[in-house]
Amino acid sequence: MSRLSKLCGALSLSVALLLGGQADAQDSVAAAGGGPAAATPAAASGGDAEKGKALFTNNCAQCHAVTDEVVVGPGLKGVRQRTPGEDWLIKWIRNSSAVIASGDPYAVQVFNKFNKIQMSNFPNLTDDDIKGILAYIDQASAPQEATVGGAGQAQARGGGGASAENGDGSAGGPSELFTFVLVALLVVMLLVLGVLLVIVTILSRAVSPAATGEGAPTTVPFTQRLREGLTNAVNNSTLRSIVIWLFIFVVTKESVDGLYSIGIQQGYAPKQPIAYSHKLHAGQYKIDCNYCHTGVNKGKSAHIPSANICMNCHGVIKKESPEIQKIYAAIEQNRPIEWVRVHNLPDFAYFNHAQHVNVGNVQCQTCHGQIEKMEVVEQRSSLTMGWCIDCHRKTEVNTKDNAYYDKLVALHRKESKEPLKVANIGGLECSKCHY
């Protein structure tokens, strides 16, 4: 929350460039370079396109494509024609900020058009280097419209196919399983139904006096037969006691279970104000837990990230998503996002993240479950005292290369043959957690 007000300022300066295009700039460059670019009009300008290609990939491709596509900066197709000339381009590439500062109208116009993002300066590039890069751009963008387009499309299609496949793969696994389970359930239910029908037939034959041979079972209505059957069943003392005992057993079990679940929130998965997915961020993109939960190595709490950490990426990407627009709204109104706490320890129990994560080397997943697979975070562990104690009894202390433990280990060896556990160094002391 502390950075909210600062962010408001930063937001107004924020990068407003959003990229619709999905094609990877580097890929399309590579594809273009690989095309049969025989005719090189750039050769006339005296640049070495081969050398230029390497320089382009290394220095420019992160922000520029050789086509019309805007990556971060403008697409460079036809850059020689639309700019004031080669000398200007050389000056610009070496030190664009100086050109802008000099008040050059074209430079200022481009700078403003692309949201005032400063292009890096490349003072180390020689005139020949820059000419080579320009030659490469000419070669890659100009002659082979068809090949570039074709390759680009093929790639786009390939990429689309791959992502669709991925989507199907992730959705396909569970859905297939789901259908299988459904079919299996259906079969089981049909079997049960069949068995029940058989039982009903047998019972009705046994109970109904009409079935003994009069040949007129239809005269006795079903309700009457049922009533008679029930009366017989109720009058049967064995059956009655079985039912009563079963009832007492079920009630007792449910009561005991209910009592044990008091104060335990296992399975709690509240709906959050913003549908943030750990599965996407921590699972698919493999962003380290520490990146957002910055306190986890340093303090008691792991920290819920403030909005500025969201903005580190979402200041640029996925800005149009309605969920991310909620972050923007919160920042603009200087209003905190009220996330719902999932893991609630009682106030009388002390827990410290740094102690467990940094010193104890406990993985986040040990207590929180497979967070990187959760769309909505759920409390997986019971967080009861028994659960804590159990882990303290089982976990060995990593005493290797740590002089702090030397004497403790020596003392412990005298008393026991077991390795040194957390319980042996005070992990079961009441006052460690309750004070």
Partner 1 sequence: MITKHTGITAIVLIGLLAGGTACKRDHDDTGLEFAPQMYDPVSYEPYKQVRPNEVNPTGLNMRDPARGTVSRPNYHTRFGEGDTTTTDLMIYNIPKDSIALAERVLTNPIPQTERTLEEGKILYGRYCIHCHGEGGKGDGLVGKEYKGVPSYSADAYKSMNDGHIFHVITHGKGRMWPHGSQMTPEERWKIVQYVHKLQQG
Site residues (CB under 8 A) for partner 1, limited to 273-292: 284-288, 290-291
CB of 415 to partner 1, least distance (A): 35
Angle, helices 145-207/25-34, rounded to nearest 10 degrees: 130
Restricting to residues 214-253, name those near partner 1 by CB under 8 A: 230-231, 233-235, 240, 243-244, 246-247, 250-251
Interacting residue with partner 1 among 55, 76, 107, 324 (CB under 8 A): 55
136 touches 49 (CB < 8 A): yes
- By CB under 8 A, residue 97 contacts partner 1: no
Residue 240 vs 432, nearer CB to partner 1: 240
**What size, in residues, is the chain?**
435
Residue 55 vs 76, nearer CB to partner 1: 55
Which residues contact residue 412 at a Cβ distance below 8 angstroms, ignoring those fewer than 6 apart?
420, 424
107 touches 98 (CB < 8 A): no
- By CB under 8 A, residue 185 contacts partner 1: no
Interacting residue with partner 1 among 153, 312, 355, 398 (CB under 8 A): 312
Gap between the terminal Cα atoms of the chain: 30
- Kindly tell me the sign of the dihedral angle through the C-alpha atoms of 70, 72, 78, 83: positive
User: What's the CA gap between 310 and 316, in Å, rounded?
Assistant: 10
The greatest distance separating any two alpha carbons of the chain, rounded to the nearest whole angstrom, comes to 115
Restricting to residues 313-352, name those near partner 1 by CB under 8 A: 313, 315-317, 335-336, 338, 341, 344, 346-348
Restricting to residues 22-51, name those near partner 1 by CB under 8 A: 24-25
Q: Is residue 44 helix, strand or coil?
A: helix
421 DSSP β-pair partners: 396
Residue 13 vs 164, nearer CB to partner 1: 13
Residue 203 vs 243, nearer CB to partner 1: 243
Tell which residue, 122, 148, 152, 115, has the closest CA to residue 37.
148
The torsion angle over the Cα atoms of residues 418, 421, 426 and 431, rounded to 10 degrees, is: -130
Residue 336 vs 426, nearer CB to partner 1: 336
CB of 209 to partner 1, least distance (A): 20
- By CB under 8 A, residue 298 contacts partner 1: yes
- By CB under 8 A, residue 261 contacts partner 1: yes
- By CB under 8 A, residue 294 contacts partner 1: yes
Q: Binding residues for partner 1, how many (CB under 8 A)?
A: 77
- By CB under 8 A, residue 203 contacts partner 1: no
